[in-house]
């Protein structure tokens, strides 16, 4: 199965390091991040799961639940978590899915045969409260993900879900945003009372609407 942006992601039931879950029920009305790992006890994955656990407060602030996945079993996950906690100085309390039969990996197209026929690549999916796919990125096994970028993208997605805006290149929270093309220049001042800067008819900036 190949997922595209805007598709409703499939539901699934799974065994995890915190017990059995139903994916949709676990997410509830939250945003979700599902990310895969080639295998337990691998060095890059250890740092990634540790970083995710250290960012728990940031994900909570954004009403976002995270789940990791690899093709190893629950007991392996639980023992690996001890290593993660020790080496990354954190406490992993989010679920790591045991996908031994690779069914979930296949649902989300996480196995790329030319990279590895048996292990998942570093795929990451951001899912909205409507259960639709908002973003996916895939890294090779050798490259750890940038979780500051994950938070930045999540901020952008949540902002554009609330306001008719887009975020420009290299945007960070607090920077000016771009007014969406669905808003005319005549309508813009009423919708964006903080100010409108017209560079071109199609390129209009305004301060981030939800910042003081």
Same domain, 31 and 88: yes
Does the residue 4 lie in any domain?
no
Does the residue 104 lie in any domain?
yes
Residues carrying an active site annotation: 45
CATH for 195: 3.30.1020.10
Q: How many independent structural domains does the chain possess?
A: 2
Encoded tokens for 25: 């029920």
Same domain, 185 and 118: no
Whole-number mean pLDDT of the chain? 92
Same domain, 91 and 193: no
Residue with tokens 């992993």: 92
Same domain, 132 and 46: yes
Question: Nearest CA to 54 among 187, 147, 177, 188?
Answer: 147
Same domain, 108 and 168: no
**Cα gap 111→104, rounded to integer Å:** 10
Same domain, 99 and 196: no
Same domain, 109 and 195: no
pLDDT tens for each residue of 146-171? 999 999 999 999 999 999 999 999 99
Question: Quick one: pLDDT band at residue 186, thresholds 50, 70, 90?
Answer: very high
Does the residue 77 lie in any domain?
yes
The side-by-side arrangement of strands in the sheet containing 13-16 is 19-22, 13-16, 96-98, 64-70, 31-36, 122-127, 133-139
Does the residue 26 lie in any domain?
yes
Does the residue 2 lie in any domain?
no
Same domain, 33 and 134: yes
Does the residue 136 lie in any domain?
yes
Same domain, 169 and 127: no
Query: In the predicted model, is pLDDT for residue 4 greater than 60?
Result: yes
Are 158 and 31 in contact by the 8 Å Cβ rule? The answer is: yes
CATH for 117: 3.40.30.10
Query: Lowest mean pLDDT: which of 6-20, 58-72, 109-123, 144-158?
Result: 109-123
**Cα gap 123→136, rounded to integer Å:** 7
Same domain, 131 and 167: no
pLDDT of residue 117: 45
Same domain, 67 and 20: yes
Query: In the predicted model, is pLDDT for residue 200 greater than 90?
Result: yes
Query: In the predicted model, is pLDDT for residue 90 greater than 80?
Result: yes
Residue-number span of the structural domain to which 89 is assigned: 13-147
Which of 96, 115, 147 finishes a domain? 147
Question: Quick one: pLDDT band at residue 121, thresholds 50, 70, 90?
Answer: low
Write the CB contacts of 142 (distance below 8 Å, at least 6 apart in sequence): 44
Does the residue 158 lie in any domain?
no
Same domain, 171 and 135: no
């Amino acid at each position: 199965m190949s997922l595209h942006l805007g598709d409703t992601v499939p539901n699934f039931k799974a065994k995890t390091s915190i017990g059995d879950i139903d994916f949709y029920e676990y997410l509830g009305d939250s945003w979700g991040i599902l990310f895969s790992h080639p295998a337990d006890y691998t060095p890059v994955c250890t740092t990634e799961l540790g970083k995710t656990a250290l960012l728990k407060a940031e994900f909570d602030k954004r009403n976002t639940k995270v789940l990791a996945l690899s093709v190893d079993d629950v007991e392996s996950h639980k023992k690996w978590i001890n290593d993660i906690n020790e080496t990354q100085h954190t406490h992993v309390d989010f679920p790591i899915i045991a996908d031994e039969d690779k069914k979930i990996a296949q649902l989300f197209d996480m196995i790329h045969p030319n990279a590895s026929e048996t292990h998942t690549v570093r795929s990451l999916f951001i899912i909205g409260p409507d259960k639709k796919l908002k973003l996916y990125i895939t890294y090779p096994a050798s490259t750890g993900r940038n979780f500051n970028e994950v938070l930045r993208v999540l901020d952008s997605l949540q902002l554009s879900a609330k306001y008719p805006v887009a975020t420009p290149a290299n945007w960070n929270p607090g920077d000016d945003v771009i007014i969406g093309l669905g808003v005319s220049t005549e309508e813009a001042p009423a919708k964006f009372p903080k100010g409108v800067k017209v560079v071109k008819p199609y390129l209009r900036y305004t301060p981030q609407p939800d910042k003081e």
